[in-house]
Amino acid sequence: MGKIPLSKVYESDEIRNNVLKVIGSGNFILGPESESFEKELADYLGVKRFVLSNSWTSGVHLLLKAMNIKEGSEILLPSLTAFPSVEPICHVGLKPVFVDIDETYCMDPVDLRNKITSKSAGILPVHLYGQAANMREIMNIAEEKGLFIIEDCAQSIGAKYNGKRVGSLTIASGFSFYPSKNLTVYGDGGGIATNDDSLADEVAALRNHGRKSKFLNDEIGFNMRFNEIQAAVGRCQLKVIDELNGKRRKHAERYSSLLGGTVKTPEIRESAEHVFHMYVIEVDRRDELRDFLKNKGVGTGIHYPVPVHKQPAVTNLFGDVSLPKTEKAVGRILSLPMFPDLSEKEIDFTAESVREFIGR
């Protein structure tokens, strides 16, 4: 068995040909490919608008600025997430408040309720590893407390909650098209989805130097634009995203059938349709297992070994907090290879290797 990578980007001749067409067109920034990609993403998600930017981080930064939230207000979010989840909150003068996780590694609604204060303004639940958070409970709490919700869909494009696409459930949501994601544009890229035209218009202006027409800058903005080559790549992948996600689910079923009872396998929320951005197990002696798999040529990852609330950049600003379930999980979680072209032989070899280690 050759080396098995942790992830692998989707490629096709259509993508290569469309990239060459863009190069020949002479349009490279926010042109017709980007406009079409935005419309197609909005249609796919079931929202009115999608606004592309150069990353999830930039898109949510612009969104928070457009929402004009009172400085010092608190935004509640999980700590078991990629560090960028907290960055826009800090950049616009808001305070992150970290919430512990439930059995699916997503935000725990019980701890969420306990963390709400008079300064709370909004909630940023993360649909982690491709699994929808417990949105029924989170949305009920938000409505009761008068808080907005921005969904972090960086890892979950195509996932569903109660039959609806994540990213369409609340006032707005953020998406990432980073190379490891289920839908990638072969580089950094992302954006926000919303049903609010005024928010979409403001984000679109802010990403492009604050201008709403070519020669008039209505406000001080940013250069956080999207490019045409990546839009061409994304449009091709969007056509097949459901097929690719279906392959991920099939791979996850095989992993779970082979590993169930040996390690803790992912718990799938009954009301959710998981898209398995990552296939994450929990195991004792995680670091030893990772070294064992590496020696067998199996790529693995830890998402994430240091939770956000324990990162120096955060503790230096906001102090230390305790999240027992998060802190326990980060010492045990391990991501196994997961991508659409993963073969049954590669899954079987990986699972057999995990069982071999556990049996020692």
- Give the CATH number, domain containing residue 338: 3.90.1150.10
178 and 311 in a single domain? The answer is no
* Residue 2 belongs to some domain of the structure: no
114 and 180 in a single domain? The answer is yes
254 and 136 in a single domain? The answer is no
255 and 188 in a single domain? The answer is no
The last residue of a domain, from among 235, 265, 290: 235
Question: pTM (2 decimals)?
Answer: 0.97
The last residue of a domain, from among 197, 212, 235: 235
Nearest to 275 by CA among 215, 340, 350: 340
173 and 272 in a single domain? The answer is no
216 and 272 in a single domain? The answer is no
- Expressed as residue numbers, the domain containing 249 is 241-359
* Residue 3 belongs to some domain of the structure: no
Cα distance between residue 174 and residue 156, in whole Å? 10
What pLDDT is attached to residue 251? 98
What are the pLDDT digits (tens) for 205-240? 999 999 988 889 999 999 999 999 999 999 999 999
222 and 252 in a single domain? The answer is no
* Residue 173 belongs to some domain of the structure: yes
340 and 270 in a single domain? The answer is yes
The last residue of a domain, from among 194, 210, 235: 235
208 and 320 in a single domain? The answer is no
206 and 267 in a single domain? The answer is no
What pLDDT is attached to residue 154? 98
- pLDDT one digit per residue (tens) for the chain, 360 residues: 789 999 999 999 999 999 999 999 999 999 999 999 999 999 999 999 999 999 999 999 999 999 999 999 999 999 999 999 999 999 999 999 999 999 999 999 999 999 999 999 999 999 999 999 999 999 999 999 999 999 999 999 999 999 999 999 999 999 999 999 999 999 999 999 999 999 999 999 999 999 988 889 999 999 999 999 999 999 999 999 999 999 999 999 999 999 999 999 999 999 999 999 999 999 999 999 999 999 999 999 999 999 999 999 999 999 999 999 999 999 999 999 999 999 999 999 999 999 999 998
CB 112: neighbour CB atoms within 10 A?
Answer: 27
180 and 291 in a single domain? The answer is no
Q: Based on the structure, what is the number of domains in the chain?
A: 2
* Residue 91 belongs to some domain of the structure: yes
Q: What CATH number does residue 52 fall under? A: 3.40.640.10
* Residue 30 belongs to some domain of the structure: yes
288 and 227 in a single domain? The answer is no
Cα distance between residue 326 and residue 328, in whole Å? 5
What pLDDT is attached to residue 31? 97
Cα distance between residue 136 and residue 169, in whole Å? 10
What pLDDT is attached to residue 212? 83
* Residue 98 belongs to some domain of the structure: yes
